Amino acid sequence: MATTTSTTTAIELGDRSQILLQREPIEAPKSDDESVDPVLEASRLADSDVPDGGYGWVIVISCAILSWWTIGTSYSWGVIQGALVEEGLSTPAVLSFVGALGPTLLAAVSILNSRIMRTIGVRYTGMLGVFLIGLAEILAGFAVKSVPGLFVTQGVLLGLGFGLTFIVTSSTPAQYFSKKRGLANGVVFAGGGFGGAILSLALDPLIRNAGPAWAFRTLGLSTIATGLPAAWFLKERTNVRRGGFIEWRLFKDLSFVFIFVAGAIGTFPLLVPPFFIPLFANAIGLSSATGAGLLAGFNFASAVGRIFSGILCDRIGSLNALFLALSLAAISMLAVWPVSTTLAPLAIFSVVNGMANGGFFSTMPTVVGNCFGSARVTVAMGMITTSWTAGYLTGAPIAGYLLDAYGGKDGGFQAYRPAMFYAGSLALGAAGFVELVRFRSNRNFFAKV
């Protein structure tokens, strides 16, 4: 397979005598006549004069607000799920499907959403997504006694809104940043971490005082009130690249295939900790308020991890940062969570896993933009996000079924361990595929020196 090399961002490469800091090679398929990939050339040209600031920071702030409601709403679902389980609406496994359906549709329709964004522009795509998220939450307030009703509102409708806002937040900053692309993406997705943290803290007393119905309605009204103005400030710096739904020739590049598979596997464990930390806290004798606080700590750490991982992307390279995030997530679930039988170790796990979990989101768009070209980031990110569908849909519910099989929520902390090992093993597998991409990048670099 023919490849072309670009100097997009730095990664740490080993030499026989010393450690050198070099630029991350771009692995991309060439055309049949061995010419340079025109999309990568367009990306280099566009990246050469990006402002790396200016109005780009307005874009970052606007996208961070959208991320607050897109990711924050998903990552605070554990609080509402715990309340609905206590009310006897259904089991954790079934309600995990409700919470997972929104992110699942985010991934499943991402290719279609990239086409919608190229047709109506980032501003109106973002506004439409915000409106659907708010509407879904408001309608969910009238469906708190119906599992099918929650599947339609909190699942399907919410997921359609998530998909529109996510494609905007994951692709637009790349038009305004090159050297600071990792930092920009880190700040954008940190909005989701802070959103999850604040919403987790706010939802517990809101549910106890006003009930789940008004908690949903409050979320919906707040989303519309803050998200629509934020989306209005979005705009493209350059014309969005036109094209098909899928760029099939990317699958000829093994690096793209490995990133595609890493994302597909890596999303299975992502929602397990935030969905089950409140229930696990209750299993070891902690209160619902403490469980909500631990989930808030997870989300605060996730926000910090997103920013930190973004900075690491610019310093050591996006592939290295993604590998570190997935490896840390695996270690925390395999070695720390299983022994977290008291508050202190569980708090440590929540912070460590939260940082690693957030790093996945902030590094993936940077990896795609750096390795496959900022000019195709909308299509490529849509393709890779589609691979997350199965993980989002079944990752947390599988953990829920494992919990039920080994004793259920009343079976003590031992009943949660199979779910922990399942999630940790998949995170480790995803890190392995990223390591394959790093190996290929290093090998191709040394072949040219």
> Is residue 420 scored above 60 in pLDDT?
yes
Lowest mean pLDDT among 7-16, 55-64, 316-325: 7-16
DSSP letter (8 states) at residue 26 = P
User: Using one digit for the tens of pLDDT, what is the confidence trace for 72-93?
Assistant: 888 888 888 888 988 888 888 7
Query: What is the pLDDT, as a whole number, of residue 49?
Result: 65
Residue 13 pairs in a beta bridge with: 20
Residue 234's pLDDT band (boundaries 50, 70, 90)?
very high
pLDDT at 16: 34
**Residue 314 placed within a domain:** yes
Q: Which residue has the higher pLDDT, 161 or 369?
A: 161
- The answer to whether residue 153 is domain-embedded is yes
pLDDT of residue 244: 56
The reply to whether 279 falls in a domain is yes
Q: Where does the pLDDT of residue 8 fall: very low under 50, low under 70, confident under 90, or very high at 90 and above?
A: very low
pLDDT band (50, 70, 90) for residue 10 = very low
Highest mean pLDDT among 16-25, 120-129, 300-309: 120-129
Quick one: pLDDT band at residue 180, thresholds 50, 70, 90? confident
Residue 21 falls inside a structural domain: no
Most confident of 36-45, 77-86, 131-140: 131-140
Beta bridge partners, 14, equal 19
pLDDT tens sequence across 296-326:
899 889 889 989 998 999 899 889 999 999 9
Strands 10-14, 19-23: pairing is antiparallel
pLDDT confidence bin for 27, thresholds 50/70/90: very low
Mean pLDDT over each residue of the chain, to the nearest integer: 83
Owner of token pair 């909005």? 191
Burial of 216 (0-12, 13-18, 19+ CB in 10 A): buried
DSSP state, 239? P
CATH number of the domain bearing residue 92: 1.20.1250.20
- 30 pLDDT exceeds 50? no
Q: Smallest Cα–Cα separation from 151: which of 338, 397, 352, 331? A: 397
- pTM of the full predicted structure? 0.73
The one-letter amino acid code at 332 reads S
Question: Is residue 9 one of the residues assigned to a domain?
Answer: no
pLDDT at 42: 57
- Select the highest-mean-pLDDT range: 103-107, 191-195, 254-258: 254-258
DSSP classification of residue 412 = -
Name which of 377, 160, 399, 170 is nearest 270 in CA terms: 399
pLDDT at 13 over 80: no
Domain total in the chain: 1
Whether 384 maps to a domain, the answer reads yes
What does the pLDDT average to over 266-284?
90
pLDDT digits (tens, 9 = 90+) for 326-381: 999 999 999 999 999 999 999 999 999 999 998 898 898 888 877 777 667 777 88
The DSSP line for 134-170 is: HHHHHHHTT-TT-HHHHIIIIIIIHHHHHHHHHHHHH
Confidence at residue 37, expressed as pLDDT on a 0 to 100 scale: 61
- pLDDT higher than threshold 90 for residue 218: yes
pLDDT higher than threshold 80 for residue 427: yes
Q: Is residue 33 predicted with pLDDT exceeding 50? A: no
On the question of pLDDT at 449 being above 60, the answer is: no
Domain membership of residue 312 as a residue range: 37-447
- The encoded tokens of residue 367 equal 């990896």
Would you say residue 420 lies in a domain? yes
Dihedral sign for Cα 286, 288, 294, 298, please. Answer: positive
pLDDT of 23 higher than 80:
no
Angle between helices 212-232 and 181-210 (to 10 degrees): 150
Instruction: State the pLDDT confidence band at 7, using cuts at 50, 70 and 90.
Output: very low
The kind and range of the H/E element at 19 are strand 19-23
Is 70 exceeded by the pLDDT of residue 242? no
Helices (H) and strands (E) in the chain, counts: 17, 2
pLDDT value of residue 369:
78
Map tokens 């070209």 to a residue: 373
pLDDT over 80 (residue 17): no
Mean pLDDT, rounded, for 89-99 = 84
Asked whether residue 21 carries a pLDDT value surpassing 90, the answer given is no
Q: What is the pLDDT of residue 230?
A: 96
Please check whether residue 7 lies inside any domain of the structure.
no
